[in-house]
Amino acid sequence: MKLKIFILVIVMAFFQTAFSAGILIKRNISYSAKQTSGTENLLDVYYPTADGQRRDVMVFIHGGSWNSGKKETYWWLGRNMARKNVITVIINYSLSPLCQYEKMALDCSEALKWVNNNISNYGGDPARIFVMGHSAGGHLAALVNTDTRFFRQQNIENPIHAVILNDVFGLDMFEYLNAAEDNDQTNSFLNTFSKDKEIWKTGSPLNYIENVKNPYLIFVGERTFPSIQIQSERL
């Protein structure tokens, strides 16, 4: 029942754009133990004014083909969710071609470690952390939830209560890249996953499906890419 209520809140947040008073925003918090001069390891927290309650927490991972995107684009989601009393954390992470998928997933797991350790300061309940990812961000959300090495490197147990995927791309990169045409988009993906087919496998969340212990909610658009539809049905 709790998960159903949270789902309803998310759907409502996507269709509301109004902003009301009482929402606080803490921007550009560094979640990494390593000091960097860039913006890749920063996050924003959107939260309602404190009233003593412990609230659900949503961490959003943006898409952008692993080579673009930024947290500022999704200010509306943070505000709308906070209006529905959901503490919302929107993160940046390292992008291709400066790094490959493992560094991105490690960034996401480190951001989730920060949330787990600090979200109570903003009224959030660390036992109720939901992760939402769109497109390539959905791939990273699914990967950190299924491939245990990322949270193991953070020295924490998986803190994710449930996962929400919106038109997730790349659940099986081995399948996708094996069939992909030689074009600019494929070459961009190879910057993220290399030309090594074994890495395509290790970067595919569907290869770790036996590790799934928590609920998933998957949204798929009617006009989405066939690979997204097919791979989402396999999860």
* Cα(151)–Cα(112) distance, integer angstroms: 9
Task: Tell me how many domains the chain contains.
Answer: 1
Q: Between 1 and 200, whose confidence is greater?
A: 200
**Nearest residue to 111 via CA among 76, 66, 60:** 60
Q: Is the pLDDT of residue 18 over 90?
A: no
Give the global pTM.
0.89
Could you tell me where the DSSP H helices lie in the chain? Answer: 2-14, 75-83, 101-118, 136-146, 149-153, 173-179, 184-193, 197-202, 226-234
Tell me, what's the pLDDT at 118? 99
Tell me, what's the pLDDT at 16? 46
Domain that holds residue 109: 2-234
Lowest mean pLDDT among 37-41, 110-114, 174-178: 37-41
3-class state of residue 115 by DSSP: helix
Q: Is the pLDDT of residue 150 over 60?
A: yes
Tell me, what's the pLDDT at 13? 53
Q: Between 6 and 151, whose confidence is greater?
A: 151
Q: Domain with 210 in it: what CATH number? A: 3.40.50.1820
Mean pLDDT throughout 206-223?
A: 93
Mean pLDDT throughout 171-195?
A: 95
pLDDT tens, 55-99?
999 999 999 999 999 999 999 999 999 999 999 999 999 999 999
pLDDT tens, 112-142?
999 999 999 999 999 999 999 999 999 999 9
